[in-house]
Structure 1
């Protein structure tokens, strides 16, 4: 009896609850592939001094924090009592290149044998990972690979899931802006990789479907040896295009955007409105210092902040917990620069800096650095946890698999596919998610615009949203009055190749584009009643056109009053003329035998 009471007291206490949480019946290996860098370069590509190798460049804090979010999300799940399986998380980091991503994928699968993999990779780098995961039948959840290729070529990416919307939705959200503001004349530029190529083609197709003319569409190659020449070539094309006021820029961080816009200012390109894809919309405020930027409207993935996701005890703890990663040195160097404003490396775990930063809240400071990739990574881990819960609660009556309920410790990777497809999962804010039949999530975008105050400070403002309902129908809203049109006189750009041809005129196309034309006035006895009418319509015989050639008016007959002076005068003239004619005829008849003589 005393033993029973002791057990009840123990498990009713906090220590008892903690004990229960730590009791895990099985383990389940989850792999992580993350690239915390924007670029890479190949060293010794000439093969003269030995084998070539890749060196990572341009440390990206948001990408780094997304990998940290995966680790903390696993800790959060393991510490809860909802799952009796312990998740073992094994991560590999790599430089930003398709070759490096493939190498790390092979290393991870061969060394850790993961049952599912969470991938933080751009679309360009994910292509190889997606192919390899399909080869090994390993479910792979892409946290920020948005390319529509994975949807169109599903047989090649049959094990790929995504916690970020596909580009096909983003393209509709982008072109929706042109429809709303009635822009009929746009330009498009995109990075020359899988992400940019799919985006550019999609915008061109969607624009043509909506009768929007594309003035030009140009790819920018990322080759560092001729990058400047490619950018200059694009801006020369743009400069020779008449009346271009709106340019869609579909790119990611692989392009040096500061160099891009500085070249435009050197060439004195006229300011225009830039429509930013999600690949750089969150950085828009950085580029308002360039004259070529009149305004930027960006489409970005809606970011649900996950407060207190990071749980570092101190700055030193943040460094030590990432010591085993590829980017550990670059992370500490970044912290030295951003926190201590040092231009050199420092040891943040030395006693000097531990004391100096003892009251510094590293988690609160890092939280604003997290963007949507952190959130979509967190969702990927939550989806896996939910699928494992469904496996644990499986019964013969509700089993997804034909051969019954699998055991966690004997689970094959392919068996998890059906459970992921049916998983209903939520974030810690209570938002609900489920994978669609295409293995991605429903879109939820926001429109961002940067406001500049009198002190020159910038602030990103949400000015609208784009999402779909459960039936897939789009829901669009934009607050046009909240958008700042800098360097355009505060007015919305017209977005026209030619001025509108008013009623009373007709268009004659010039240059092969239906949006480019000259306006000709309708000839007499014809009309046109619509703006930009392509032809003038003839008036009927009973009508005539007005002076403006905008309508046909009925003809009115001239009627004289019988008692009017004009009628009397005309009657007298008619009678006199008739009498004179009769008299002349009678005279000729009376003198018909008299010869005619001429003097």
Structure 2
């Protein structure tokens, strides 16, 4: 009241805001619904009529009052806003904060200088999120303010992952039974934080019972109506209940009001009229002195400033409406609906505070965050942060005094957060109550869905208990890999060795050693071995369609040709020394019909047929192996997983077994012609190399399986070179005396004598 009187006196005494206009006012006590309704209807009465008389057409309706400041209660404001809105009478409340009053389609002429409860609810939500309080209780006063605040906070909290374990309304009644039951339910719900969205007198009833119930070590968050109420803070043993935070209207330094009240009391005493300016029903006014006055709190000053700024908002609107900029206001009748349009546009600064209204009639101010402190004898409310409506951001001090063990932030959760890579399994009706289950490999869980282990993408992987998926690395045997460099060096040396042996054999083609080894057939074998070595180059680098389709068939065919030559050579030697005498017709037919050439061609065509059928039915192609290693994509060819590959190896194995058979038959031939040891060595090397390959393949199928395949090919080629060709190469270069016709004839004669003696 005094803040309003101060504002009106300042405006009337000012020569700039409303120069030739004097503002008047009437005060109504809205202590009940009937009084509130009476005051509202009185505002609408005609200016000249002593009784209430209203017209349907309000455009030229000259009513007694053109604007209203108040009331303080949201419940009363709904009545005044509904009635005055019909007549477009501007109404600026300083304390009614219910969110529904911002609906312009219902309350078109309602404004306020206190933020809407919608913003207050957002501030409380930010506090809950800042300290990770997800298991809470909400209680509100049983009126429009408390019910709407409870409803809005419940909706906003649940939509942001905060669970409300209990909610209830605090009645304003002398019967405290329901309040006691409410407190018992809060304790039973195992929450450690309760939001009390209530007007101050209901909140006082609630906390009196909280103290009586000996509830301790809780956190309480208060709405702006009671968060700075000194009477609640002064309750006996209130400090035992724990930490209390609250939302409060922003502080404003307003020293003029204190001086104004002091001067007012002095004027009352000077007139010697004990009830001057006071309600005649107030008996305490007669004994009122300056000593009875206590300095109002800063928060009470802020509430009074809202009244002060509301009056100035109306005066500023009149200033614009009556065009007072020239120093003289127009002298004309002002209708409320005319003033309403200028109230919407008001924008000025008062005590460094910007005063204007948004499209909903709400101010641009935010809130202070206060924390109750009992460090001193008298309870104090310390500002620990603020919330800006414009920035939409909560700012808090880093060092807060919590009334808990070790001054740590109290927890209020139903279940502890799951560890990284664990999903939630809800255990009750609330999403905040859950068990934690570990996510298996190749799945992840993150904030987008805390209840599901989501599978990783096709080209991704994850270990157990993972919250993200990693991109798989693409692996293949590259040309620059150190192992590749070693293998390529060996291939190069082998090709050089094969070329050297081929040249030596070509130059000594008609010598006994070369002839006994197969003559021109040796050159065919060496070419086949060189071709086998060349297929090794297809195993390096990223597998392609051509390399996958060519490398294994070419190796199999070339190696088959080589083994066919060895089989033919072993068979011919046995024929010369054994079958020629016992089976002369068969021998003649073999020689005359070029049996060796036919066998080589037929056996090679058999391998070619296997390769063609394999390529036609299931062509080897590049594949991406996702199964061997979870974190890798192995690029390889599909050949090793096919029947055709095994069939080729088995076919070569059958030829090698045939070689063994002929070698065994010729084990007693002359040393110059006895190839059993050399061929057996070569075949054993071949067998062991491919057995080692398949054994390794069963155990390991990573990118280096290609290197193992290359090694098997190289060892097989080296086995034949070392076992079959190197001894003859040695004789030609270093033992020329053994490479003569006489030496070979002598060996044959000695073999013939032994055979004759045996017969």
Query: Normalising to structure 2: TM-score of the pair?
Result: 0.54
Q: Distance in 1 between matches of 2:344 and 2:274?
A: 32
> Which residue does the alignment assign to 2:389?
468
Distance 1:407 1:188, change over 3 A: same
More deviation, 191-200/206-215: 206-215
Distance 1:258 1:158, change over 3 A: closer
Q: Does 1:249 find its partner at 2:199?
A: no
**Paired residue secondary structure (1:89):** coil
> Which residue does the alignment assign to 2:55?
none
Aligned residues: 454
> Which residue does the alignment assign to 1:84?
19
- Candidates 230, 242, 253, aligned match of 1:294: 242
Give deviations 1:448-481, integer Å, cap 9, x for gaps: 112232x544322111111123xxx5132112x3
Q: Does 1:264 find its partner at 2:199?
A: no
Shift of 1:555: 8.0
> Which residue does the alignment assign to 2:396?
478
Distance 1:463 1:318, change over 3 A: farther
> Which residue does the alignment assign to 1:233?
181
Q: Distance in 2 between matches of 1:365 and 1:544?
A: 68
- Candidates 390, 395, 414, aligned match of 2:320: 390
Name stretches of at least 5 consecutive residues in structure 1 with no aligned partner: 1-66, 336-345, 396-405, 557-566, 575-599
Shift of 1:542: 13
**Paired residue secondary structure (2:68):** strand
Name stretches of at least 5 consecutive residues in structure 2 with no aligned partner: 48-63, 470-627, 632-687, 696-759
> Which residue does the alignment assign to 1:410?
333
Q: Distance in 2 between matches of 1:514 and 1:551?
A: 23
Shift of 1:314: 5.9
> Which residue does the alignment assign to 1:142?
93
Shift of 1:418: 0.9
> Which residue does the alignment assign to 2:603?
none
Decide which structure has the larger Cα Rg and report it: 2
**Paired residue secondary structure (2:384):** strand
Contact 2:445/2:452, CA 8 A, preserved across alignment: no
**Paired residue secondary structure (2:255):** coil
Q: Does 1:495 find its partner at 2:412?
A: yes
Counterparts of residues 504-515 of structure 1 (less than 5 Å): 505-515=422-432
> Which residue does the alignment assign to 1:451?
373
Distance 1:482 1:89, change over 3 A: farther
Contact 2:7/2:311, CA 8 A, preserved across alignment: yes
Contact 1:272/1:292, CA 8 A, preserved across alignment: no
Q: Distance in 1 between matches of 2:189 and 2:162?
A: 16
- Candidates 159, 166, 181, aligned match of 1:216: 166
> Which residue does the alignment assign to 1:171?
121
Structure with the higher fraction of residues in strand conformation: 1
Distance 1:388 1:322, change over 3 A: farther
Q: Distance in 2 between matches of 1:488 and 1:128?
A: 48
Give deviations 1:223-243, integer Å, cap 9, x for gaps: x254x122122112212213x
Q: Distance in 2 between matches of 1:241 and 1:166?
A: 30
Shift of 1:485: 1.2
Structure with the higher fraction of residues in helix conformation: 2
Distance 1:328 1:485, change over 3 A: farther
> Which residue does the alignment assign to 2:300?
370
Higher RCO structure, 1 or 2 (CA under 8 Å, sep 6+): 1
Distance 1:173 1:327, change over 3 A: farther
Q: Distance in 1 between matches of 2:19 and 2:185?
A: 61
Superposed CA RMSD in Å reads 3.8
Shift of 1:323: 4.4
Contact 1:117/1:139, CA 8 A, preserved across alignment: yes
> Which residue does the alignment assign to 1:440?
362
> Which residue does the alignment assign to 1:68?
2
Counterparts of residues 84-233 of structure 1 (less than 5 Å): 84-110=19-45, 113-152=64-103, 154-222=104-172, 224-226=173-175, 228-233=176-181
Distance 1:508 1:418, change over 3 A: same
Q: Distance in 1 between matches of 2:353 and 2:265?
A: 31
Shift of 1:194: 0.9
> Which residue does the alignment assign to 2:583?
none
